[in-house]
Amino acid sequence: DFGSGAALVVVTFLILIAVVAIAGLYVSKLRTATGVEE
């Protein structure tokens, strides 16, 4: 079914965005904690 397939793609895409955003926040906090400046 195309509907369920599209929904699965959207959900997967949103999860990927959330993972990237959380990872970015974690890395930025980690850099701040360790005092690493870019």
Which pLDDT does position 35 carry in this prediction?
Answer: 72
Quote the domain boundaries for residue 16.
Answer: 1-38
Which pLDDT does position 30 carry in this prediction?
Answer: 86
At residue 2, the 3 state secondary structure works out as helix
Distance between CA atoms of 13 and 21, rounded to whole angstroms?
Answer: 12
Which pLDDT does position 34 carry in this prediction?
Answer: 75
Phi-psi bin for 35: left (phi > 0), alpha (psi -120 to 50), beta? left
Which pLDDT does position 17 carry in this prediction?
Answer: 98
In the DSSP assignment, the letter for residue 26 is: H
- CA dihedral sign, ordered 16, 20, 26, 29: negative
Which pLDDT does position 14 carry in this prediction?
Answer: 97
pLDDT (tens digit, 0 to 9) for every residue of the chain, 38 residues total? 667 888 999 999 999 999 999 999 999 988 887 776 65
Which pLDDT does position 37 carry in this prediction?
Answer: 62
Q: What is the count of structural domains for the chain? A: 1
